[in-house]
């Protein structure tokens, strides 16, 4: 389940019944998808796409997407830092940014034209659609690992247009989920004094 934070209001949403309508209010589509057959992080892309074929087809028809692929990023991905640096500054695209998370985590910051700036931490099972023209930026969590299905209306349109406002520097890319525990919060079992 995604975790929604609205930093300027000091609000966090963790329940589906709150998350979906809140995100709809800032024009972000959010769905939970379930695989028709089991997939693992090691499954080949065609198996991953087949497991979610019905959802992908429905979304294609709704949004005019023509292609879908699977992207995987790990700390071992060549030039991973350069790749991530392209997307962690505020930008927008000429087409929708649609992601369905297979495994790993990521953090979208959405800067709506109306409504508060919102951080969306996505994990396995989350589908998010950021409409074309929406200002946003994206970070991975500390383990720098994500595998996601992407859908495209026209892959050539998926170029970041940077706003260069610097707003992204005012919001810490902090993930709250299990893969991003600050070291100070780790508890060492059976060590006196570490449990409260
Ligand atoms: Fe983007």
Q: What is the per-residue pLDDT across 9-49, written as a single tens digit (0 to 9) for each?
A: 999 999 999 999 999 999 999 999 998 888 987 899 999 99
Distance 109 CA to ligand 1 centre (A): 10
Q: What is the per-residue pLDDT across 103-126, written as a single tens digit (0 to 9) for each?
A: 999 999 999 999 999 999 999 999
What is the Cα–Cα distance from 18 to 125, expressed in whole angstroms? 17
Distance 54 CA to ligand 1 centre (A): 25
pTM score: 0.88
Distance 190 CA to ligand 1 centre (A): 44
CA distances from 25 to 13, 19, 20, 29 (A): 14, 10, 9, 9
DSSP 163-185: ----GGGGS-----STT---GGG
Cα-Cα-Cα-Cα dihedral of 23, 29, 33, 39, to 10°?
-100
Distance 86 CA to ligand 1 centre (A): 9
Distance 130 CA to ligand 1 centre (A): 8
Q: How many CB atoms lie within 10 A of CB 41?
A: 13
pLDDT band at 134 (very low <50, low <70, confident <90, very high): very high
Name the phi and psi angles at 95, rounded to 5.
-140, 165
Distance 21 CA to ligand 1 centre (A): 22
């Amino acid at each position: 389940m995604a975790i929604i934070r609205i930093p300027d209001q000091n609000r966090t949403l963790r329940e589906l019944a709150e998350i979906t309508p809140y995100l709809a209010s800032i024009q972000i589509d959010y769905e939970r998808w379930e695989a028709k057959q089991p997939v693992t992080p090691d499954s080949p892309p065609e198996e991953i796409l087949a497991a979610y074929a019905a959802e992908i087809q429905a979304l294609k028809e709704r949004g005019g997407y023509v292609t879908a692929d699977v992207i995987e990023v790990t700390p071992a991905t060549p030039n991973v830092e350069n790749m991530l640096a392209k997307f962690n500054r505020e930008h927008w695209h000429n087409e929708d940014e649609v992601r369905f998370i297979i495994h790993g985590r990521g953090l979208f910051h959405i800067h709506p034209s109306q409504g508060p700036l919102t951080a969306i931490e996505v994990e396995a099972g989350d589908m998010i659609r950021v409409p074309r023209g929406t200002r946003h930026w994206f970070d991975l969590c500390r383990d720098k690992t994500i595998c996601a299905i992407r859908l495209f209306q026209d892959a050539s349109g998926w170029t970041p247009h940077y706003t260069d406002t610097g707003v992204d520097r005012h919001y810490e890319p902090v993930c709250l989920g299990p893969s991003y525990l600050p070291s100070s919060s780790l508890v060492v079992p059976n060590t006196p004094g570490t449990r409260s």
